[in-house]
Structure 1
Amino acid sequence: MGANTAKRHMNGSCPIRDVLDRIGDQWSTLVLEALAGETLRFNELKREIGDVSQHMLARTLRRLEQDGLVSRTFYPVIPPRVDYALTPLGRSLLEPIQALTGWARTNHASIIAAREKYRERVSTDA
């Protein structure tokens, strides 16, 4: 983030948009949930999440670390080892994230049905 952008965020930019833009992407919530119970290495996180590419996982972890939600600990051993864990700030985000993901699991079938109903209606209206 450049100096002007950082200044704008400190001087009146919407904090809700700023935070939700960072944690509301496709992978951040899944990473935070995966780290909820334990410290994990990169490949363990990748296995836990599933279909995320190495590039996107690395990018997501860097952004979460930059925001103070995830810590990265490097161990200079052979082969090198890196552990990822939630910070206290990241842990404080778990309750609202788990409420949202629980809601998504509970209501997913209804949302899929509503999308199908919408598609049927739109296709007959056209």
Structure 2
Amino acid sequence: MNLTIHQTFLPVDDPDKSLAFYRDALGFEVRNDVGYEGMRWITVGPVDQPQTSIVLEPPAADPGLTDDERRTIAELMAKGSYASIVLGTSDLTGTFERVQASGADVVQEPTDQPFGLRDCAFRDPAGNLVRINQLP
């Protein structure tokens, strides 16, 4: 069996700010930008990995959600505890400096973890945790 990660979804409450973070700070290309009924889905991904994408989606677009569920999602996003993603780079220091220079919310500067990994972390404009690992 040959599986790849094709898409993952991250909730965003301000598509323009999130687009600036993923496109400008992280350097992802925009692959799709679709609006529907006042909502917006933006697909981004690494330039050299056309098969892998992140879809920035409205957090409460699912019509099956109740108002209570929508409020819970909004509360968790405001706390920065709703969603996360882990990215990898061959240049952690350079990537950290670029993202930090964009004004992103730094959660953790590059650190050698006790379990053998070097990484850093940011919050995107929606509060999602974005960890970046140093690749070998």
TM over 0.5: no
Bigger radius of gyration among the two: 1
Greater per-residue helix proportion: 1
Q: Could you state the TM-score of these two structures normalised by the residue count of structure 2?
A: 0.24
Greater relative CO, 1 or 2 (CA 8 Å, sep 6+): 2
**If the length of structure 1 is used for normalisation, what is the TM-score?**
0.25
Structure ranking higher in strand proportion: 2
